[in-house]
Amino acid sequence: MNWLKDPLISFLAIGAVIFFLTSFFGDEEISYEVEISKADVERLRNQWEMQMRQLPSTKELRDLLDQYVKEEIYYRESQRLGLDVNDSIVRQRMVQKLSFLTEDIATARPIASAELEEYFNENKEDYSVSARYTFSHRYFSVDRREDAEADATRALDTGDPGDQFMMQKQYSARSESQIGDLFGRDFAKAVSRLEVSSSSQGPIESAYGWHTVKLFQKEPEHVPAFKDVLEKVTVDAKQAARLAANQAYYDDLQDRYRIVFPEGLEEI
C-alpha cells in the first residue's frame, strides 16, 4: 500500500475524483472561455490605485490579471461542482450583490435639483439646527466653599471671579445637548431659559458646583436654506432612493412567488 504515500499518485487520484464530479455535475452553460475585457483591466487598475495610492506597474498589473483569471476559473469550477449550493456565506454575498445592483440602478442618473429641493422640503425637520448659546461663567466649588450657592449669589453684585475651573470659562455656539454633556442636563436647561444680557445671571447649579452665567448670544432653532445643506441633502436623497428601489424591487419579486409555510405557522 506504499503507493498511497506517493504524492504524484495522490495528486492524480484527487484529479480523477474532481474530473468525475465535474463531469457528473457539469453545466454546459458555464463557459470554458475566460474573456478579459478592457473594463476588467481598468477596474483592476483602479482598485490597485485606490488601495496603494499609485498606479500598478506592468508586472503588478499582470499579477492582478493572473489572479483574476485564477479566481474566475475556480469560481466556474465551484459552480460546476455545486459548491455554491446551500452555502450561507455565498448566499449572503449574492443577496448583498443583488441589493447593491438595484441601488446602483436607482442612483445611476444624477438627481435633478428640483427633486433634491422637493426632498428637502418634505424632510425639513431632519435638517433643523438646534438653538445655540454663547456664554461665559464663573465657577464656585462646593468642595472649596462652605456655601458655594450663597457665594455665587453675592458674586452677581461683587464681581468675585470664582474658583479655578477644569474646563473652559467661555463657550461659543453650543447646543443645549452639548452643554448638557459638559455640565449636566439641568444646567443646560437653565441656560436655555436665560435671556441675553450684559450682566451675569444665576446662580445655576451644575454637576460640579454653582455658576454665574453671562449669556452673550442665543441663536434660535432654525432650518438652514436649501443651498446651505445641498451636499447633505444630495447624500440623503440618494440613500432614500436606494432604499425605495430595494423595497420596490423586492415587492415586485415577492408578487411572483408563492410562499408555503409549515402547517400551523401561517398564523404566526
- Residue 268: burial class (beta carbons within 10 Å; 0-12, 13-18, 19+): exposed
Give dist(CA 137, CA 209) in Å, integer: 12
pLDDT of residue 86: 75
Residues 136 and 184 in one domain: yes
Q: Which domain does 189 fall in, by range?
A: 129-219
CATH code of the domain containing 145: 3.10.50.40
Residues 209 and 229 in one domain: no
Residue 194 backbone dihedrals phi, psi, to 5 degrees: -75, 155
Residues 211 and 255 in one domain: no
Residues 155 and 122 in one domain: no
Residues 175 and 93 in one domain: no
Residues 171 and 243 in one domain: no
Strands 170-175 and 201-205: unpaired
Residues 253 and 181 in one domain: no
Residues 232 and 198 in one domain: no
| DSSP state letter for 108 | S
pLDDT of residue 26: 47
Residues 263 and 133 in one domain: no
Residues 139 and 153 in one domain: yes
pLDDT tens across 205-249, in order? 998 999 999 999 999 999 999 999 998 998 898 888 888 888 887
CB 106 within 8 A of CB 241: yes
Residues 163 and 190 in one domain: yes
Residues 8 and 122 in one domain: no
Which residues lie closer than 8 Å to 20 by C-beta, 6 or more apart?
none
pLDDT tens across 86-105, in order? 777 877 777 777 777 776 66
Q: Of 59, 85, 111, which one is at a domain's C-terminal end? A: 85
pLDDT of residue 179: 95
Which residues lie closer than 8 Å to 18 by C-beta, 6 or more apart?
77, 81
pLDDT of residue 12: 45
Which ranges of the chain have pLDDT less than 50? Answer: 1-12, 14-15, 17-18, 21-22, 24-27, 266, 268
The structural domain count of the chain equals: 3
